[in-house]
Amino acid sequence: MAKEIKTIGVLTSGGDAPGMNAAIRAVVREAIGKGLKVKGIKRGYAGLLAEEIVDLEAWDVSDIIQRGGTILQTARCREFMTEEGQREGAEICKKHGIDGIVVIGGDGSFRGAQKLAALGVNTIAVPGTIDLDIACTEYTIGFDTAVNTAMEAIDKVRDTSTSHERCSIIEVMGRGAGHIALWCGIANGAEDILLPEKYDYDEQKLVNNIIEKRRRGKKHHIIINAEGIGHSASMAKRIEAATGVETRATILGHMQRGGSPTCKDRVYASTMGAYAVDLMCEGKSNRVVAYRNGDYVDYDIDEALMMQKGVSEYQCQVCKNMSQ
Q: How far is the CB of 175 from ligand F6P (least distance, A)?
A: 4
> Which range of residues in 32-40, 57-65, 167-175, 304-312 is near ligand F6P by CB under 6 A?
167-175
Closest residue to ligand ADP: CB criterion: 108
Q: Per-residue x/- mask for ligand F6P, residues 254 to 293, rule CB under 6 A?
A: ---x------------------------------------
19 makes contact with ligand F6P (CB under 6 A): no
Active site residue 300: no
- Among 131, 191, 265, 298, interactor with ligand F6P by CB under 6 A: 131
Give the residue with the Cβ less far from ligand F6P, 28 or 224.
224
Q: Give 112-162 as a 3 state SS string.
A: HHHHHHHCCCEEEEEEECCCCCCCCCCCCECHHHHHHHHHHHHHHHHHHHH
Give the residue with the Cβ less far from ligand ADP, 78 or 216.
78
Q: How far is the CB of 295 from ligand F6P (least distance, A)?
A: 25
Please provide the size of the chain in residues. 324
- Among 13, 70, 86, 129, interactor with ligand F6P by CB under 6 A: 129
Which of 131, 144, 192, 265 does the annotation list as catalytic? Answer: 131
Task: Give me the residues that bind ligand ADP (CB under 6 A), please.
Answer: 13-15, 45, 76-77, 80-81, 105-109, 111-112, 115, 129
130 makes contact with ligand F6P (CB under 6 A): yes
Q: Find which of ligand ADP, ligand F6P, none residue 96 binds, CB within 5 to 8 Å per kind.
A: none
227 makes contact with ligand F6P (CB under 6 A): yes
CA 262 to chain centre: 14
Q: Per-residue x/- mask for ligand F6P, residues 78 to 117, rule CB under 6 A?
A: ----------------------------x-----------
Q: Distance between CA atoms of 89 and 28, rounded to whole angstroms? A: 21
Q: How far is the CB of 303 from ligand F6P (least distance, A)?
A: 22
Q: Find which of ligand F6P, ligand ADP, none residue 257 binds, CB within 5 to 8 Å per kind.
A: ligand F6P
Q: Is the Cβ–Cβ distance between 169 and 235 less than 8 Å?
A: yes
Give the residue with the Cβ less far from ligand ADP, 15 or 100.
15
Q: Distance between CA atoms of 88 and 267, rounded to whole angstroms? A: 35
Closest residue to ligand F6P: CB criterion: 15
Residues involved in catalysis: 131
Q: Which residues bind ligand F6P (CB under 6 A)?
A: 15, 106, 129-131, 173-175, 227, 257
